[in-house]
């Protein structure tokens, strides 16, 4: 079975502060990990994927197989980062499984 855990429902940070959204996964094989974001009144959209090792909007995420984690990080939070963030996993069963999501709230 594949499972994604996001322990925080809400993360509130000040503008300019570092951000870390936690994601842990459970999967027996080699998973593919993603972060999706849902801004207010917008569709859910892909933010980044681990295989690309890219930085999108200042966000990065590193896959740590030893700790089975894929935490999302940004050094300096911006107001426009306020959104709902979902960690997701794809395994061999052709299913995309999401975590419960973390709402990031960036305040002045």
Partner 1 sequence: NAGVTQTPKFQVLKTGQSMTLQCAQDMNHEYMSWYRQDPGMGLRLIHYSVGAGITDQGEVPNGYNVSRSTTEDFPLRLLSAAPSQTSVYFCASSPLVGAFTEAFFGQGTRLTVV
Which tokens hold the place of 60? 């990065």
Q: How far is the CB of 59 from partner 1 (least distance, A)?
A: 16
Determine whether 67 is exposed, middle or buried from the number of CB atoms within 10 Å of its CB (0-12, 13-18, 19+).
exposed
> Near partner 1 by CB under 8 A, which window of 11-19, 21-29, 46-54, 75-83?
46-54
Binding to partner 1 by residue 17, rule CB under 8 A? no
> What's the CA gap between 95 and 82, in Å, rounded?
28
Q: Which of residues 66-105 bind partner 1 (CB under 8 A)?
A: 86, 90, 94-101
> What's the CA gap between 92 and 18, in Å, rounded?
34
Q: Which parts of this chain interact with partner 1 (CB under 8 A)?
A: 6, 9, 32, 36, 43-46, 49, 51-52, 86, 90, 94-101
């Amino acid at each position: 079975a594949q499972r994604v855990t996001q322990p925080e429902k809400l993360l509130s940070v000040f503008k300019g502060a570092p951000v870390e959204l936690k994601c842990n996964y459970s999967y027996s094989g080699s998973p593919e990990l993603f972060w999706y974001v849902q801004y207010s009144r917008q569709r859910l959209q892909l933010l980044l994927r681990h295989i690309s090792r890219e930085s999108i909007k200042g966000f990065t995420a590193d896959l740590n197989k030893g700790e089975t984690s894929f935490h999302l990080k940004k050094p300096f939070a911006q107001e426009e980062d306020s959104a709902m963030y979902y960690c997701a996993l794809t395994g061999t069963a052709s299913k995309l499984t999401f975590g419960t999501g973390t709402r990031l709230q960036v305040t002045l």
